[in-house]
Amino acid sequence: MTAEGEPTGRGPGPARGSATRTRFAPAPTGFLHLGHVANAIHVWGLASTTGGAVLLRIEDHDRVRCRPEYESALLGDLAWLGFEADEGPVRQSDDDAPYAEALDRLREETLVYGCDCSRATFEAWARERGRPWHGPGCPGDCRHRALDGPVLRVALGGGSERWMDSLVGPCADEVASGGDPPIRDRDGNWTYLYAVVVDDLRQGVDLVVRGRDLLASTPDQIRLGRLLGRDVAATFAHHSLVRHPDGRKLSKADGDTSVRESRAAGRPAAELVGEAAAAVGLIDAARPIEATEVGRLFV
Ligand SMILES: [Zn+2]
């Protein structure tokens, strides 16, 4: 396994300030793997250095792919690893009202519109013009067509957002660079982007710790949070990803070893935590690390 980009979290690094609450937020769509362990190390490690509590949030907004058996498996595996949340678990499926209320708020500002563009619509637009769709809106100009759906998009307004990422440094990027993002998909599920922005706001999450594969969605999240009434954006910390030597992301579908399998094979939890820490460059070579000790990797 190799890490993407520069190692993060070693040495003094950028100032991390203080936090009141961060979250570990897995989706119950499969078993935890080494990438989740690397994320947990950063979540609990940075929480301990910033004084924040860890909320465990089960991100089950996608009703098609989420399974109760994966949720019980991930809770069991997390406990086995030794990562103990201060609050939770809370589930996105526990209460739909916050998402519906946030939708009402956006609708009052006439920022929500139905859209019937599919991936094929975007691809056809790009083929005709020799360049991909760029910027707010959608190829069908659906904001001006008074559609009910099937997808709901939010007009974020374009422009750009800047933020100081605790692990990456100063960042700035365009808002809605690939089109206005969907907030509800054609199956009627709230989207990842929408659900996490609503959750982080209502749950008082002020430190968002996650992998660099989500870095590009940060400007949209910051903007959406502001449109929903968030005065101060959360602090973001995007860490390196655990990858195969050829650069591929870890995937259960590719047969990558899950925490569950390592556990069944009799490996100690501390060994797995150490392997994940080494895979993202937090330590030079794997050695056993107890989950309760990961804060030491960030001081
Ligand atoms: Zn459209």
Query: For residue range 203-213, what is the model confidence (pLDDT) as tens digits?
Result: 999 999 999 99
Query: Could you tell me which residues come within 8 angstroms of residue 295 by beta carbon, excluding any fewer than 6 positions away?
Result: 44, 45, 48, 49
The first and second tokens of residue 69, run together, are 């058996």
Q: At CA 210, angle to CA 209 and CA 213, rounded to 5?
A: 150
**For 151-179, what is the mean pLDDT?**
96
User: Is the preceding omega at residue 182 within 30 degrees of 0, hence cis?
Assistant: no
* Straight-line distance from the first to the last Cα atom of the chain, in angstroms, rounded to the nearest whole number: 24
> How far away, in angstroms, is 150 Cα from ligand 1 center?
10
- State the pLDDT confidence band at 64, using cuts at 50, 70 and 90: confident
pLDDT of amino acid 246 = 65
Rounded-to-integer distance, Cα 209 and Cα 46, Å: 8
Alpha carbons 44 and 90: distance in angstroms, whole number: 17
Query: For residue 7, what are its two tokens?
Result: 């190692």
Closest by Cα among 201, 233, 200, 206 to 219:
233
Mean of per-residue pLDDT scores for the chain:
91
pLDDT of residue 63: 86
Confidence of residue 10 (pLDDT cuts 50, 70, 90): very low
DSSP state of 145: T
pLDDT bin (cut points 50, 70, 90) of residue 251 is low
Look at residue 238 and tell me whether its pLDDT is greater than 60.
yes
Measure 149 CA to ligand 1 centroid, in angstroms: 9
Q: What mean pLDDT is predicted for residues 112-140?
A: 96
Q: Which of 1-15, 19-33, 245-259 has the lowest mean pLDDT?
A: 1-15
Q: Which residues contact 166 (CB under 8 A, 6 or more apart)?
A: 13, 14, 15, 16, 17, 46, 207, 235, 236, 237
Q: Which pLDDT does position 11 carry in this prediction?
A: 41
| Distance from residue 152's CA to the centre of ligand 1 (Å) | 9
Expressed in angstroms and rounded, the spacing between residue 211 Cα and the centre of ligand 1 is 29
257: confidence class by pLDDT, cuts 50, 70, 90: confident
- Burial of 70-84, coded b for 16+ CB within 10 Å and e otherwise, reads bbebbbebbebbbbe
How far away, in angstroms, is 161 Cα from ligand 1 center?
A: 24
pLDDT digits (tens, 9 = 90+) for 12-25: 344 456 779 999 99
The model's confidence at residue 247, banded by pLDDT at 50, 70 and 90, is low
pLDDT of residue 1: 41
pLDDT of residue 3: 42
The secondary structure element, H or E, covering residue 186 is none
Average pLDDT over every residue of 285-298: 96
115 C-alpha to ligand 1 centroid (Å): 4
> How far is ligand 1, taken at its centre, from the CA of residue 144, in Å?
9
| Mean predicted confidence (pLDDT) in 270-276 | 96
**What residues form DSSP beta bridges with 112?**
154
Spacing, Cα 190 to ligand 1 middle (Å): 17
Q: Is the pLDDT of residue 299 over 80?
A: yes
